[in-house]
Amino acid sequence: MMKGLDPNSAKFYSIAFEMCITIMAFMFLGKCADYYLEMEKPLLTALLSFIGVFISIYRVIYSIKSKR
């Protein structure tokens, strides 16, 4: 373990990692849906990406409130 690293900072790293994974998963699902439905514009990619952002923000707020 690194010497200058605060033990509580691991919590924030895990939150950021979880946000990244959630957003990328929804983006991937949107790309797959656009490909499967043969859409001309990546509308489902954009829509599901925004949904992933909102879900990840909700989960961050919920996890911060529950750890108080």
In a domain, 14, yes or no: no
Q: Is residue 32 part of a domain?
A: yes
35 within a domain of the structure (yes/no): yes
Question: What token pair was written down for 21?
Answer: 């994974």
pLDDT of the residue at 66? 80
Query: What number of CA atoms fall less than 13 Å from residue 33's CA on the CB side?
Result: 14
- Residue 55: inside a domain, yes or no? yes
Domain assignment present for residue 54? The answer is yes
- Domain membership flag for residue 53: yes
N- to C-terminal Cα distance for the chain?
26
| Residue 41 forms part of a structural domain | yes
The reported pLDDT for the residue numbered 3 is: 64
Q: What is the extent of the structural domain holding 34?
A: 23-66
Q: What is the mean pLDDT of each run of 10 residues along the chain (68 residues)?
A: 67 88 97 96 96 96 80
